[in-house]
Structure 1
Amino acid sequence: MTRRIETVAIVGTGVIGAGWAALCLARGLDVSAYDPAPYAERRLRVAIDAAWPALTRLGLADGASRDRLAFASSAADAVEQADFVQESGPENPELKQSLLAELDAAALADVPIASSSSGLMPSQLQEMTDQHPERILVGHPFNPAHLIPLVEVVPGKLTTPSVTHSTSAFYFSLGKRPVLVRHEVPGHITNRLQAALWQEAYSLVARGVATVADIDAAITNGPGLRWALLGPFANQHLSGGAGGLAHTLEHLGPPAQEWMADLGRVHLTPALVDLLVAGMGAELRCTDETALVAQRDELLIHLILQKRGLTALP
């Protein structure tokens, strides 16, 4: 029988962990949190307060309350009575080794332990535990984690199907859109897709084809608008008219193959990093970054609300 999830342990309360904590509280759950950093509890409560207005607009569950947050004195204390564990510590294998071993020893045997890791693979994480590696997997969210629905669910070689299923179901109950990664690859799915775009964006800047600002404008005023509604395959399908994806690939496949063959391969040398950072500085020279984040989140909320109930969008 699948355990009913009423208490979630959040271990690691930086930007991602705080997002998870706020979301779980908004869904009417108890949250037991831990982070060893100085003033971590105070920073977590400030972050949750900052996220609460947006979560309120998206809709709070019955019983949702910031008062249901408890801050534990250790990682073991945080997880010992939890029904689900979301580990969001730093992306440091040595730190993960000791942390996951502690969580595995302290959490009840049938409780899933999901890592927010964006790069470490679950089978690697399972090697860091020796009691119940079958309940270890990756649950990788996107920032801001309390708003963006996507979460990548990545089982390892030893993860049982029941843990994968129950973890996906739990994320779905939070309002997330879980996507199953069927084979482990570095960076999972979405970071690899982003990396492909970053690689060509860096290359175009390095070759002087476009500035940092030009590329940001090209994406946000063009394909980025469509990508928020339909993925790359569905967009190509609609581009093909009555013939759909088959027509698109027949007519645009050959030139697209030439474009793909011509894509740049770059290395993030110090000179290129300096060029990209300078370009970012130039783009945001007159921008209030606090206002930028606020406007981004405001539009995200509007978009998420508008997409609800639209049954045709995937």
Structure 2
Amino acid sequence: MTHQLSVIGTGVIGNGWIARALARGWDVVAFDPAPDAASRTRAFVDNAWPALERLDMAESASRGRLRFADSLEAAVQGADLIQENVPERLELKREILSALDAAAAPGVIIGSSTSGFKPSDLQQNCLREPGRVIVAHPFNPVYLLPLVELVGGAATRPSDLDAAQVLYRELAMRPLVVRREIEGHIADRLMEALWREALHLVNDGVATTEEVDAAVVYGCGLRWSLMGTFLTFHLAGGEQGMRHMLEQFGPALKLPWTKLEAPELTDELIDRVVEGCEFQAAGRPVAELDRRRDDFLVELLDLVQKYWPESEGLPGRI
């Protein structure tokens, strides 16, 4: 059975959804009013395709199954799943999601890729079936990283989330249903905390952007990629596990090791961060860095699957 994904907004995230769906053998209909949207999307998919070919690509996968519609309403005709990816402005998202709710066939799930807004806030202007409008938050690059956070709002029924889980699994995603809505969901709140502390380290002259990234890549990041935060600390407690770790290192939580509040983004800090990142990129274009990242992630995903098969349901039992 052929499925159709309708993608509204074709920035980095929207194009990531498109590449993933094409690789899974879905038809994709996209809409974006930008005049160069179609050419940018096809270039994006072409750049991502070599990495996707190394994964478990569907036999029916084809870049030719993508077409662009000339209106939002036309884009959602025949959709099995709709994914909204417009800029992170609440009023804009409400306007677009209301139009999608009015145009989509009954029962079709409408997922928003929003990084931070709560679904109840997104549903407010949806008059037909507000409960089907949910958060479906992925991670860049969407075509490789399997996690999608699913969050229902006040009008969402359990059956809406059940239906969403089935569809996203058919896109080879690993849905994580967030127990209750909260700004930033789960993963972005964790990443935001690390990001704020990283900015403080650069702002205070403790480390450069390159040194902060090295600390993650060669330290905690390697462990986190397999076991996450809690299980990693569980091992730090030795044979007694997490209980001993908390007894030994718990008091350090009261020490001023982190600041949490973000530093002011002064021109000096912005220049320092930008110059540091440009030094790390060493003149390589983003598309080249994308391919390097994709090659790494393909091999890393294979390693995670090898050492923690999905059949075991861990980490996180999702």
TM-score (norm 1): 0.92
From 138, 143, 161, the equivalent of 1:141 is 138
| Amino acid in the other structure paired with 2:186 | I
1:278 counterpart residue number: 275
1:157 counterpart residue number: 154
Using the TM superposition, give the Cα deviation of residue 42 of structure 1 relative to its aligned residue in structure 2, in angstroms.
2.0
1:24 matches 2:27: no
Give the distance between the partners of 1:264 and 1:138, measured in 2 at CA: 26
Residue pair 1:5, 1:83 contacting (<8 A) in 2 also: no
Deviations 1:20-60 (A, max 9, x none): 11111111111111111102122222222222221111021
2:44 counterpart residue number: 47
Residue pair 1:213, 1:280 contacting (<8 A) in 2 also: yes
| Amino acid in the other structure paired with 1:300 | L
Give the distance between the partners of 1:245 and 1:86, measured in 2 at CA: 39
Q: CA RMSD in A?
A: 1.9
Give the distance between the partners of 2:172 and 2:107, measured in 1 at CA: 23
Give the distance between the partners of 2:285 and 2:29, measured in 1 at CA: 35
Please show how residues 284-295 of structure 1 align to structure 2 within 5 Å: 284-285=281-282, 289-295=286-292
| Amino acid in the other structure paired with 1:174 | L
Which shifted more, 168-177 or 32-41? 168-177
Residue pair 1:88, 1:117 contacting (<8 A) in 2 also: yes
Name the SS of the counterpart of 1:124 in structure 2.
Answer: helix
Change beyond 3 A, Cα 1:278–1:51: closer
1:238 counterpart residue number: 235
Give the distance between the partners of 1:14 and 1:213, measured in 2 at CA: 27
Using the TM superposition, give the Cα deviation of residue 232 of structure 1 relative to its aligned residue in structure 2, in angstroms.
0.5
Residue pair 1:205, 1:211 contacting (<8 A) in 2 also: yes
Change beyond 3 A, Cα 1:30–1:289: closer
Using the TM superposition, give the Cα deviation of residue 5 of structure 1 relative to its aligned residue in structure 2, in angstroms.
7.1
1:195 counterpart residue number: 192
From 103, 111, 132, the equivalent of 2:100 is 103
Q: Which runs of 5+ in 1 are unaligned?
A: none
1:223 counterpart residue number: 220
1:205 counterpart residue number: 202
1:131 matches 2:128: yes
1:263 counterpart residue number: 259
| Amino acid in the other structure paired with 2:36 | Y
Name the SS of the counterpart of 2:226 in structure 1.
Answer: coil
Number of matched pairs: 310
Which shifted more, 140-149 or 290-299? 290-299
Identity between Structure 1 and Structure 2 (%):
46
Deviations 1:153-209 (A, max 9, x none): 111111111111111222122221211222222111111111111111111222222
Give the distance between the partners of 2:46 and 2:214, measured in 1 at CA: 32
Name the SS of the counterpart of 1:137 in structure 2.
Answer: strand
1:65 matches 2:65: no
Give the distance between the partners of 1:116 and 1:47, measured in 2 at CA: 18
Using the TM superposition, give the Cα deviation of residue 148 of structure 1 relative to its aligned residue in structure 2, in angstroms.
0.9
Using the TM superposition, give the Cα deviation of residue 72 of structure 1 relative to its aligned residue in structure 2, in angstroms.
1.1
Q: Which runs of 5+ in 2 are unaligned?
A: none
TM-score (norm 2): 0.91
| Amino acid in the other structure paired with 1:54 | A
Give the distance between the partners of 2:121 and 2:298, measured in 1 at CA: 36
Using the TM superposition, give the Cα deviation of residue 90 of structure 1 relative to its aligned residue in structure 2, in angstroms.
1.6
1:181 counterpart residue number: 178
